[in-house]
Structure 1
Amino acid sequence: MILDIHGKKLVFGMQWRTLTGSNTPSALAANIAREVKAARIWHDDHALHMGYLDVADAQAKIKDKLYSGAAVLARVPELVPNALFVFRLEAAGQPAIYLVCGIVKGRPRVGFDQVVHDEKTLAQLAADFPAKCDGEFKLVGNTPELLSLLLPERRIAHVPYTLDMLVSHTGPTALLKKPRATSQRKRMLTLVVLALTTAVGWPYGKAEYDAYQRRLHPPPPQKSPAERYAEDLAARAAGPVALAGVALPAWAHWFANDVPLQVGGWSLANIHCDSVVTPTANCTLTYEIRQNAKGLTNQTFVAALPDQFGAPVFQANDTKALVSAPVPVGEARNLGTVLDELPTAMALRVGFGSQLQTLRPVASKAELKDLTIFGTVPSDGPGSITHPVHSAPWEIGGPLRNVTEFAAFALNITVKTIDLMVNLEATPDLKQSKFMLTVSGDAFARD
């Protein structure tokens, strides 16, 4: 399926093959292209996989450049190494279409670049994908409800993602090429190398020829440690984040207004929100059958379940039910806006550190850990970077009523996880409540 997104044509539903054999990857890819009579292919010179258009897309007469959607996803830093991209595409008066791309170890997974027209096939793909990943992965796109089909113990994070965001990463590395033109160009380069070897290498010998080539094509200047660090920050800056001062009050408003303490007689036990980012966080709510409760069944739970919650997953011999819910936590914001204006390390420790200190009398925990350099430190060492960004993890635990204090947190304080434990039998005191909230995130500074 070829989609035109802001003038760039992205292809979904390509065929992917793993390259095996004794020949070079380029030669193996060219052989497969000839075998399947591919109109256009994706292949990197040293990659051990290649992709080509399916029959329907290959017949389309398109002169513009085509880009592989799966190849684009495999190069987005905040999504790799493992990701399952599922985007529901809707058009007025037509049934929904699902664009699916599975990325494993930074490369498109065979069989998981598909355009799906029915939810049964989509559910099967979502259920099959975890078996293809050795580690954790992200569910990317606009279908957080699929989390209920995935393994709960893997704690798979949902990353909201749009086609506009995807096309912003589209570049030459995802470009599809005509295999014939590719082969001719490589043959021409081979002939040129042979000609140069004959003309120059014969009279002078290999060492002189190598020196000649270095003078003719000097290596590009090596980037400084500061430049490499700046590029690493720029890549991270595109990722979404949630400001603690905005997201936590918004989350508390959602809990107070939209979350029932009981559903069909089942009682709320806890809420867990991992990898919190704007504009929507995906949270998992656990309801349970309390001891000595009578007449409660899965059916009573499903019948009373609010529409805004996802399909339940029953566990622990059908005494617990997990449901997912999208929670609005503020307008979309990326890390770059946080890094634009940062306080010094001392200002962070004095300002935010003092805020946490004032909470300690009414909190079970209020901690700001030591600052470390944020991002990838160049191999030259920390001393090779001037004015690096620093970050420090923070964590607060205590009664839910303390959430009103979080609105005063500065714009350099982000939240990553939110956990709420519910115990209606607890006796409230200064540091205890029926609703105990634990939140954590990062605080940023730059000297």
Structure 2
Amino acid sequence: MIFDVSGNRIVFGMQWETSLSDPDVHAKARAVKSPYVWAHEKAFYYGVLNEADRKEKLSKPLYSGAIVLQHRYPDIQNVMLVLEIPGGGFIACGLHQGRPRNGCDAVVKDRAELDILLADFKKLCGGASFKIYGDAHVAGIVPLTMEAFITSVDGTAQLRRVKSALVNPLAFAGGATAVVLIVSYCINAYNEHRAAEAQRLAAEAQKSSQTLYDEELTARRKDVALPARAIAEMIAPVRGISPSIGGWPLGKAACSVTISKQVVCTYEFARRENSKATYQSFMTAAGKGFDSIEMAGNTITAVKGYSAMPFIEQGKAIDAARTRREETIEFGSALQLLSSMGKPKLEDHVPFALPPGANVGEMTTPPVGAAKWEFAGPVRSLRGLQQLPDYATITNVVISFTDKPAYELERSMAMATVSGTIFSKSN
């Protein structure tokens, strides 16, 4: 299904297939009569439009929602996006082991179908955990609106028009000699092209695991990152939002670093029972302060992107990495100090940016390590994150507000959960 959001045409419900033996994805797309295809020279999978979308008249560029999701959360292997469709139904787009899977990129008509799809995705992931983002009422979901999601749209997600077959010899049977010569030339040119393409793919397949990894790491070093020490700048927009707009109290703010070099914050305002606040009172008070505003029942969701942040290239954080033992002492000690004010968590290190086809055991240089970290506590305790080392980055901050006083050390009227990544080197 194709969604037109703020001028971007996003496609969900695509069909995804592997392409290990036959690299001619355009021929495969033609076989199912899909006018567009998503493919990448380094990807061993491709996607085509579903049958219903193939008949639509298309003009503007199309972008695959699954690939946008992949590039928005490049470090999450198993992730599901669940968005409610105005008028009924849900978008349910999942990535398993970092890539789209057929059947996991879907548009379903009701909650029953959504629950079945989520259960199947959980089975597919097995014992591995997965994260859910979106705006549907699903347990454990991290707030994300469609407007915030499309800020991650870039050229890598764009579908390409399927190339037509270069020649159909049967169409020229019995033609004049000149036509036969043209056909012969086209066939030779086509065969030469296929041979060159096969040679290129063979060379790609012969690349060592180290070469594949080095190429992927070089690309990922250029990704946008925000140092953990910049926590004050990241939550500054939230601090600047009024606790109540037009009689609608602010209940939650979720901010994420995006590849489009923005921190995108989603604000949820909840109308109190018996309140005289209305949609109109909110719109009047908000003015043009947000990029988008959605209203549903007693909840208003507003989205705003912020570019004035001390962003860095991810490579700078990677270069600051130390050995895991050194980080256990340095970063571990920093978390221990924070534990008196909240709940810190650090996951195990895993190879960072390991591309498909690369085997760690075949590499001559161990890969960069990456570990997820998290801290949950009162907003006032976040100043402690400003002391974290340069190899620590932030990816998300979620702040929940309440009007009930709390006097415990680890409780507050504004509670935050910060998540990010630390990088490590082998020696």
TM-score tier by shorter-chain length is 0.5 to 0.7
Separation (CA, whole Å) in 1 of partners of 2:168 and 2:219: 30
Separation (CA, whole Å) in 1 of partners of 2:393 and 2:282: 35
Per-residue deviation, 1:263? 0.8
Q: Which amino acid aligns with 1:135?
A: C
Give the equivalent residue in structure 1 for 2:290.
309
Q: Does 2:344 align with 1:366?
A: yes
Q: Does 2:152 align with 1:152?
A: no
SS state of the match for residue 217, structure 2?
Answer: helix
Per-residue deviation, 1:332? 4.5
Query: Any stretches of 5+ residues in structure 1 without a counterpart?
Result: 1-11, 19-25, 27-41, 53-69, 83-97, 108-125, 138-149, 193-215
Per-residue deviation, 1:328? 3.7
Per-residue deviation, 1:395? 0.4
Separation (CA, whole Å) in 2 of partners of 1:314 and 1:368: 37
Pick from 273, 277, 280 the counterpart of residue 299 of structure 1: 280
Q: Does 2:267 align with 1:285?
A: yes
Q: Which amino acid aligns with 1:187?
A: I
Give the equivalent residue in structure 1 for 2:407.
428
Q: Is the 8 Å Cα contact of residues 292 and 302 (structure 2) preserved in structure 1?
A: yes
Q: In the superposition, relative to structure 1, how do residues 443 and 188 fare at CA in structure 2: closer, same or farther (>3 Å)?
A: same
Separation (CA, whole Å) in 2 of partners of 1:182 and 1:190: 11
Separation (CA, whole Å) in 1 of partners of 2:287 and 2:41: 35
Q: In the superposition, relative to structure 1, how do residues 182 and 426 fare at CA in structure 2: closer, same or farther (>3 Å)?
A: farther
Q: Is the 8 Å Cα contact of residues 166 and 190 (structure 2) preserved in structure 1?
A: no
Q: In the superposition, relative to structure 1, how do residues 423 and 222 fare at CA in structure 2: closer, same or farther (>3 Å)?
A: same
Query: Any stretches of 5+ residues in structure 2 without a counterpart?
Result: 1-7, 15-21, 48-58, 69-83, 96-132, 170-182, 193-198
Separation (CA, whole Å) in 2 of partners of 1:335 and 1:131: 38
Separation (CA, whole Å) in 2 of partners of 1:395 and 1:422: 19
| 1:256-405 to 2 correspondences below 5 Å | 256-257=239-240, 259-274=241-256, 276=258, 279-291=261-273, 293-315=274-296, 318-328=297-307, 330-363=309-342, 365-376=343-354, 381-385=359-363, 386-405=365-384
Separation (CA, whole Å) in 2 of partners of 1:180 and 1:191: 10
Q: Does 2:185 align with 1:227?
A: no
Give the equivalent residue in structure 1 for 2:228.
244
Separation (CA, whole Å) in 2 of partners of 1:417 and 1:427: 24
Q: Which amino acid aligns with 2:210?
A: A
Q: Is the 8 Å Cα contact of residues 74 and 103 (structure 1) preserved in structure 2?
A: no
SS state of the match for residue 309, structure 2?
Answer: coil
Per-residue deviation, 1:152? 2.6
Q: In the superposition, relative to structure 1, how do residues 77 and 273 fare at CA in structure 2: closer, same or farther (>3 Å)?
A: farther
Q: Which amino acid aligns with 2:315?
A: G
Q: Is the 8 Å Cα contact of residues 216 and 354 (structure 2) preserved in structure 1?
A: yes
Separation (CA, whole Å) in 1 of partners of 2:66 and 2:298: 37
Separation (CA, whole Å) in 2 of partners of 1:236 and 1:409: 22
Q: In the superposition, relative to structure 1, how do residues 373 and 433 fare at CA in structure 2: closer, same or farther (>3 Å)?
A: same
Separation (CA, whole Å) in 2 of partners of 1:327 and 1:270: 17
Q: Does 2:425 align with 1:442?
A: no
Per-residue deviation, 1:103? 2.1
Pick from 249, 253, 256 the counterpart of residue 236 of structure 2: 253
Q: Does 2:60 align with 1:103?
A: no
Q: In the superposition, relative to structure 1, how do residues 177 and 285 fare at CA in structure 2: closer, same or farther (>3 Å)?
A: closer
Q: Which amino acid aligns with 1:266?
A: W
Aligned-residue CA RMSD (Å): 4.7
Q: Is the 8 Å Cα contact of residues 152 and 260 (structure 2) preserved in structure 1?
A: no
Separation (CA, whole Å) in 2 of partners of 1:373 and 1:280: 26
Separation (CA, whole Å) in 2 of partners of 1:177 and 1:442: 41
| 1:108-147 to 2 correspondences below 5 Å | 134-135=92-93
Cα-to-partner distance string for 1:80-131 (whole Å, 9 max, x where unaligned): 989xxxxxxxxxxxxxxx9642326669xxxxxxxxxxxxxxxxxx979x98
Q: In the superposition, relative to structure 1, how do residues 136 and 301 fare at CA in structure 2: closer, same or farther (>3 Å)?
A: farther
Which range moved further: 417-426 or 266-275? 266-275
TM-score w.r.t. the length of structure 1 is 0.57
Q: In the superposition, relative to structure 1, how do residues 368 and 290 fare at CA in structure 2: closer, same or farther (>3 Å)?
A: same
Cα-to-partner distance string for 1:207-261 (whole Å, 9 max, x where unaligned): xxxxxxxxx99x6482222112222323433432322222x2112222222x010
Q: In the superposition, relative to structure 1, how do residues 76 and 407 fare at CA in structure 2: closer, same or farther (>3 Å)?
A: farther
Larger Cα-atom Rg: 1
Q: Is the 8 Å Cα contact of residues 277 and 416 (structure 1) preserved in structure 2?
A: no
Q: Is the 8 Å Cα contact of residues 392 and 443 (structure 1) preserved in structure 2?
A: yes
Which range moved further: 405-414 or 259-268? 405-414
Q: In the superposition, relative to structure 1, how do residues 278 and 437 fare at CA in structure 2: closer, same or farther (>3 Å)?
A: farther
Per-residue deviation, 1:310? 3.6
Per-residue deviation, 1:389? 0.7
TM-score w.r.t. the length of structure 2 is 0.59
Q: Is the 8 Å Cα contact of residues 318 and 423 (structure 2) preserved in structure 1?
A: yes
Separation (CA, whole Å) in 1 of partners of 2:226 and 2:323: 21
